[in-house]
Amino acid sequence: MRTLLVTLCFLALAGCATQKKADSSAGAASSATTQAPAGQPVPPAGSDAAAAAAPKAIEELTDQKLVYECPKCGMDFDAAGACSMDGSALVAASVSYVCPSDGKAVEHAGRCPRCAMNARVEKTAMAAAAPGKN
């Protein structure tokens, strides 16, 4: 368990260092490369609005039912947008928590209420809605 925690911390720190290097080498990036949901204006890069609109990384799944996953690095985020690590478009994924002994759903991650094991986290990519259809 400690090894997993240390590894996750190391990866998070490595990601922050990579992101800072990418941000500083990019200089003044144009706002045309930033993706925003359809019909919403894109805030200028580097502004407080751009930082507030960016999806936040989810460090550990607890009881989330919907997350946005980066197809390249596998990080989970709380909202649609672009990955802060590599800029890839995030993909919506439904999250379920399953008891490993009986295969039935549980409410959250962590210890299963029916057995002594931790619940298994299963993510399923959701199909993108066709444009113009709701």
Per-residue pLDDT tens digits for 41-90: 545 555 555 556 789 999 999 999 999 999 999 999 999 999 998 999 99
- Choose among 77, 97, 81, 78: nearest CA to 89: 81
pLDDT at 22: 42
Query: Which residue bears the tokens 């947008």?
Result: 81
- Choose among 122, 121, 120, 66: nearest CA to 94: 66
77-133, pLDDT tens digit by residue?
999 999 998 999 999 999 999 999 999 999 999 999 999 899 999 999 887 655 555
More confident residue, 86 or 31: 86
How far apart are alpha carbons 1 and 10 in whole angstroms?
14
